[in-house]
Structure formats: C-alpha cells, structure tokens
Amino acid sequence: MHALFYNGASFASETIIARLRDSLGLTEVTLVDHQPAYEVEGVRIHRMHVDDVMYLDYPTSIHDCAPLEESVVMAMAQCEIQCLTMFDKAAKVGRRQVWQRRRIRQGQPFFRDLNTTETYDRRKFQYLTHLRYWNDYLDRHPIDFYMMGTVPYAMWDYILYELCKQRGIPTLLFQHLLIDGYSLPVTSIEGPNQQLQDTIGAVAEEFAGREHEIQLCERSEVFIRKQTDKTKDPHPEYYDMSLNEYAKGDWRSAYIYVKAMVKGLLVEQPGFNRRQWLEYLSCDFWLRTLKDMEMRTLWKYWDAHADFRIDGTPFVYVALAYQPEVSTCPSGGVFTNQELMIQALAKSLPEGAILAVKEHPAQKSLSRTIDFYQWLVAEPRVRLVPRNYNTYRLIESATAVATTTGSIIMESLFRQTPVMAFGEHNAVYAPGVFRVRNGRDVAAAFKAIFEDGVKPSLAGTRVFIGALERLWFRCDNWGRVTEPLMKFSGLTHEENGIGLADAFAHTYRSLTGKPGG
C-alpha cells in the first residue's frame, strides 16, 4: 500500500506511519510535512518539506515532468478558480520569510522580489507549475490513498486533492471541531455529508422528546456549559493568543505579541544570525509591511460609515470571515467572494429588514479593497457595524445570522438564532442551520425564519453534538500539540498520532472494503 500524506499534525507523522504499517500493511509513503528526516522500519518514505513545495522547490526538476495536456487543464478549470484565490495564503509575508530563512541556513539560493501583491500572471504560473508536477507525480507513482491533516487550502494540496478525485484515488481529510481534541474525518470538502446527516437523523429519532438524556463526553459538556454561561462571553480558547484585542486597542495583548515574537527570534531560533536580522531592513519586507498597514486606511473608511445601531429594526447579522483562510477558500466555494453572499441576501431580504455587516477584527488588507467597502456602503439594504460592537450581542439581537463557515455558527445555535450558511463544514448540518447555495435557498430560508418563526433549540444542538460523537476520533487535525496550544487538546504527540492513524484505517476499510494488513 502506497499512501500520500500531507500531515497538518507533523509531530505525529512517525507514529501515524508506524501504526498504519502494522494495521494496514503500509509499505510506502509520500510525506509532505515540516519535520526533519526520520526512518520507519519496513516503510519506504519519499519526503518533501511543505515550505519547499509551497514555493515550487520540488525534489524533481519541473523540466523533467511531462507537459500538461489540454484535457487536464480543462478538467481542472474549477480548481483553478479557487487556487488563484488560495495564493493569497502563500503570499503572506511571514510565511515567505520563514521559508527564506530556512534557505539561508541551508546555504541555498532563493529569489527576492519587490511585489507587494501577487499578479494574475504569477498566480497562474504557480498554479500551472504545481499542476504539472503533481499530475506527473501521480502518473509515475501509483497512490492508493491521499490523507490530509486538514482541509486543503494551500493551492498545491488542493490541486492534488482535485487530481486524486478525478483519478478515483480515495481521499481523507480531518475537519476541525470547536470541541478541542476531536476531529471529524470526511472524504470530500464539497458535501453534502450524507453520513453526518443520517447520523443526526438517527440520534434525533432515538432520543425524540428526551434529548437531555443524550450522553456526551466531558469535553462536550464543558463546551456546552461555556456556550450557555450567561455571565461571560464564550470566546474560543485560542482567543487570548490572537491579536483581536490588540486591534481594539488592548496594549496588554500588544505586549504579549511582541514578547512572543522576540522569544521566537532569540530563544526558539538560536540560529537566527545577523544576516537574517538584516532581512528586516530589506525593501521587499518593508514594502509588504506597508501593504499590511493599508488596513489602517481601510479601517478609517469603515469607521466613518459604520452607522448601524440595535434599535428594534429586524436585521440579519452578516459576519464577514477572515481572509485568506480556509473558512472561505475552499470551504466557502464561490462565496469565497463574500459580496456574492451579500448580493443574494439583499435580493431576497424581507421588507423593512436590513443587513448588518461586521468586518472580522483581525482582517488585513491582503484580501480587502476600498472598492469592496465602497460597494457595501452603496448597497441600500446594508449597514456597516462599528468594530467595537460585541458580536455576541449582535447574535442575540439578530433575526438571523449569515456567514460562510466558522465558529459563529455554533455560537448562534446556542443563542437560538437561526443561521444561513453559504459554505461547507460539519456545523452547517446542525438543526437550525439553513445550508444555502442560491437565491431559491435564500428565499426559502427567509420565509422559514421571518414568516414561520423557525428557530434552533438547545435540544437540537445537543442532538448534533451527539451525532458528532458517534463519528469523530480522539485526535487533533491541526496537530496543535505543541506549546502553548497542546493544553487545549489534552493529547500527547503519540496519542494524537494513534488517533489520526485509527481514523485513517477506519475510513480506508469503509471505503475500500479491504481489511488491510
């Protein structure tokens, strides 16, 4: 058996490979991760570093790969649309700097550039190069399975995912859950997730009228208590580590951020030498930094036009997702362009209601333009929400919430506010969520919400979590078992690897009917 792994849980890779060798008879692996080389007895490992792959530094020269046929390019047209947006992730300053520093330490060349944005031509070149390499790789290496530690969103891994689907190669990926320490294995990011829908139906039927009797694990119960606690807002565990409070003017968070940065440069990277410090005096670094600072100008425009107030007018709370990120691309599909979501909502919005649109507090200028904000201001049914408005008060006061995917879906369900979800993730199947894809879906959802008074219930949300527990595995799809995040999952590296390997083996047997070994 030859499997291809892109392992988000890099610290667990060795455990995963060894366990699958014993359970499925794994003999060969193509591994893309961040870790130094290691050997697993009885398994041949073809290793690539994920940063090298992202920046086209493949182990085989692209000139030795077979040229692309027209049929391949045309068959991947929909993939190309998503990938051109995904390149925003690769263009982020921090990720590129990490790769450049590693190349310097290895004494290898790399190319600097003065672009503050990635042009269409450059994105297209990168896309076609990734496509050519992986199409040729799959021609030369018979792969039995492709496993991803998370939803593919880095262009190259999404291309590989789409190529595997077209060739009939089974795929497995792990969706993140708000209940830390568990992941949901799925075989497709497009949906619908019929297995999850059937399981929700089975749990609802089994416990109809007595949903409180559904037995949940302790982590689920803690999560429910946190979400329903009326004395404080249930921010995600990682919230205190983010820059959200810094964006609001919390200087304590700024201190935490600067301290973490200095520690990372001086303590955790002892090889960070004088030459690497000089990178921060280079033109390309500062031009890209100035690009990020454009968000200050955008925020000023937003603040000048943010006139929404909770005054009794019925409104739909539209929570813009942070970009570039997996919650929109690829999970949002065509609604990665969030103006399409707002257009669909505005077209069918009941008379007298408005759309209250709030920007993500951590958003930077990489995926925002003044044109988008001006379009929002010009839309008659839209009101911009001031940045300091509490998102939980908005959820509680809204007639409905609209988004692509993200934690706001579950937060809304616990406040019994219906949700219109334009993306694809496990939470969109929860009772009380309307999975919308077009104008007809939007109109039907508005009728149910505004006219029929349909709302989610805490009982229905408990059913949903009960269904997840029947399908999830005790593992962390992001591999967040490194300090300071490992405390959230409660897993060691080895325990996480065992959980991921068992989920892989279970799914492989279910899809193929083969026992393995």
Report residue 491's pLDDT band, with 50, 70 and 90 as the boundaries: confident
Report residue 513's pLDDT band, with 50, 70 and 90 as the boundaries: confident
Average pLDDT score over residue span 156-170: 94
Q: Which of 24-28, 152-156, 230-234, 315-319 has the highest mean pLDDT?
A: 315-319
Q: Which of 1-10, 266-275, 284-293, 368-377 has the highest mean pLDDT?
A: 368-377
Report residue 301's pLDDT band, with 50, 70 and 90 as the boundaries: very high
How far is 139 from 439, CA to CA, in rounded Å? 41
Report residue 248's pLDDT band, with 50, 70 and 90 as the boundaries: very low
Residue 6: what pLDDT?
76
- pTM score, two decimals? 0.85
Q: Which residue has the higher pLDDT, 517 or 156?
A: 156
Q: Helix, strand, coil % (nearest 5) of the chain?
A: 50, 10, 35
Q: Which residue has the higher pLDDT, 262 or 116?
A: 262
How far is 254 from 154, CA to CA, in rounded Å? 29
pLDDT digits (tens, 9 = 90+) for 418-461: 999 999 999 999 999 999 999 999 999 999 999 999 999 999 99
Residue 243: what pLDDT?
41
Average pLDDT score over residue span 478-485: 54
pLDDT digits (tens, 9 = 90+) for 199-227: 999 999 999 999 999 999 999 999 999 99
Residue 28 confidence (pLDDT) above 50: yes
Amino acid making up residue 398: A
How far is 172 from 510, CA to CA, in rounded Å? 12
**Nearest one of 415, 330, 35, 361 to 154, comparing CA atoms:** 330
For residue 431, cis peptide bond before it (omega within 30 degrees of 0): no
The C-alpha torsion from 458 through 463 and 464 to 465, rounded to 10°, is 90
Say which residues have a Cβ less than 8 Å from residue 136's Cβ, sequence separation at least 6: 65, 66
Say which residues have a Cβ less than 8 Å from residue 355's Cβ, sequence separation at least 6: 315, 316, 318, 342, 345, 346, 349, 379, 381, 382, 383, 402
The DSSP result for 403-449, as a single string, is ESSSTHHHHHHTTT--EEE-S-SGGGGSTTEEE--SHHHHHHHHIII
Residue 277: what pLDDT?
52
pLDDT digits (tens, 9 = 90+) for 179-198: 988 999 999 999 889 999 99
Report residue 242's pLDDT band, with 50, 70 and 90 as the boundaries: very low
Q: How far apart are the first and last CA of the chain?
A: 9
Report residue 325's pLDDT band, with 50, 70 and 90 as the boundaries: confident
Report residue 14's pLDDT band, with 50, 70 and 90 as the boundaries: confident
Residue 129: what pLDDT?
95
How far is 390 from 373, CA to CA, in rounded Å? 21
Share of the chain above pLDDT 90, in %: 53
Cβ atoms < 10 Å from Cβ of 256: 17
CATH class of 197-469: alpha beta
Residue 399: what pLDDT?
98
Cβ atoms < 10 Å from Cβ of 111: 7
Q: What angle do CA 314, 341, 445 make, to 5 degrees?
A: 55
Q: Which residue has the higher pLDDT, 333 or 198?
A: 198
Question: Coil, helix or strand for 355?
Answer: strand
Report residue 64's pLDDT band, with 50, 70 and 90 as the boundaries: very high
- Of 272-281, 319-328, 336-345, 361-370, the range with the lowest mean pLDDT is 272-281
Find out whether 72 and 131 touch, Cβ atoms under 8 Å. yes
Residue 479 confidence (pLDDT) above 70: no
How far is 55 from 47, CA to CA, in rounded Å? 16
Residue 44: what pLDDT?
92
The DSSP result for 101-169, as a single string, is HHHHHTT--------SS--HHHHHHHHHHHHHHHHHHHHHS--SEEEESS---SSHHHHHHHHHHHHT-
Residue 385: what pLDDT?
97
Average pLDDT score over residue span 55-64: 90
Report residue 358's pLDDT band, with 50, 70 and 90 as the boundaries: very high
> How far is C-alpha 264 from the geometric centre of its chain's CA atoms?
24
pLDDT digits (tens, 9 = 90+) for 68-98: 999 999 999 999 999 888 887 666 544 555 5
> What are the structural domain ranges in the chain?
2-182+473-512, 197-469
Residue 244: what pLDDT?
43
Residue 119: what pLDDT?
78
Amino acid making up residue 385: V
Say which residues have a Cβ less than 8 Å from residue 296's Cβ, sequence separation at least 6: none
Averaged pLDDT of the chain: 84
